[in-house]
Structure 1
Amino acid sequence: MKQIEVQIMGQSYLLGCPEGGEPQLREAVDRVDAAMCKIRDAGKVKARDRIAVLASLNLAFDLAQREASLAAVAAPAAPAPAPGAGSGTDDIDEAHAAQLIRRLDQALAGDGHLL
C-alpha cells in the first residue's frame, strides 16, 4: 500500500492509500480540510478535536442527504399503469417529469456531482 502525505488544517498526516486511489483520497482530504477550516474560521470553535467532530457530522449529513435524494430519484414515483392504459413506461406526464428534474437538481446541488 502506498503512503501519501497530506495536510489538513495546517497539520501533516501520512495516510495509507490503495493503488489507484490517490485522486479520490486527495479529494476526500480536500473536503475534510475545507469543512474543518470553515468551522475554524467561523471562530466559534477552537479545539481541533471538536472541529473535526463537527466537520465529520456535517459531511456525513451532506452524504445522507445526497443518498436520500438519489434514492428518491431512483424510486418509482407512481404505480405502473394498468394494461391498455397508454404505451407503458414511455409515457411520462409533465408533472412527473418536473418532479424528477427537481429531485435531480437537489441531488446535484451539493457539488455538481451525483456521487
Structure 2
Amino acid sequence: MSSIEVTIMGQGYRLVCPEGGEAPLLAAAAAVDREMSAIRDAGKVKARERIAVLAALNLAFAQAERPAAPVPAAAGESRPDAGLDALIARVDQALGADGQLL
C-alpha cells in the first residue's frame, strides 16, 4: 500500500491506495475537485457537504451514462435506475431538514 496527498477544494487529504493505483486515484481526486469547485463557483450551494453530495451524484450520473459492461441488478430491482432512486432517497434522508436534492 502507498499513500498520496491530494487537494480537493483547497482541503488536503492523505489517501491510501494499492501499489500501482496512484494514477487512477489522482485522476479521480482531480475529477472530484473540478466538479466540487464548479458547483461552488456557480454560487448556488454554499455548504461543503451538499457540494460534495451533488458532485458525487453528477460524477456517478456521468459514469452511468457511459456504455459499460452490464452490472447485475440487486435482488428485487426491476428497473435499471432503481439503484439511483434508492441512492437519492438515502441522500434526501441524510440531509433531513436541509432539504431534498431533487
Give the TM-score of the pair, scaled to structure 1: 0.58
Calculate percent identity across the aligned residue pairs: 65
What are the Cα deviations for residues 77-96 of structure 1, in whole angstroms up to 9, with x where unaligned? xxxxxxxxxxxxxxxxxxxx
* Aligned position for 2:17: 17
Indicate the structure whose relative CO is greater, using CA pairs within 8 Å and at least 6 residues apart.
1
Match of 2:60? Answer: 60
Could you tell me which runs of 5 or more consecutive residues in structure 2 were left unpaired when the two chains were aligned.
70-102
Distance 1:6 1:62 in 2: 22
Residue in structure 2 matched with residue 108 of structure 1 by the alignment: none
**1:61 Cα deviation after fit:** 0.4
Structure 2 counterpart of 1:51: 51
Q: Following superposition, which runs of at least 4 residues in structure 1 exceed 3 angstroms of deviation?
A: none
Structure with higher Rg: it is 1
For residue 27 of structure 1, what is the amino acid of its counterpart?
A
Shift of 1:64: 0.5
Distance 1:57 1:32 in 2: 11
Give the TM-score normalised by the residue count of structure 2. Answer: 0.65
Q: Separation in 2 of the partners of 1:38 and 1:18?
A: 29
Pairwise CA distance, 1:17: 1.2
Q: Cα RMSD over matched residues?
A: 1.0
In 2, Cα distance between equivalents of 1:12 and 1:51: 17
Q: Whole-Å Cα distance in 2 between the matches of residues 11 and 18 of structure 1?
A: 23
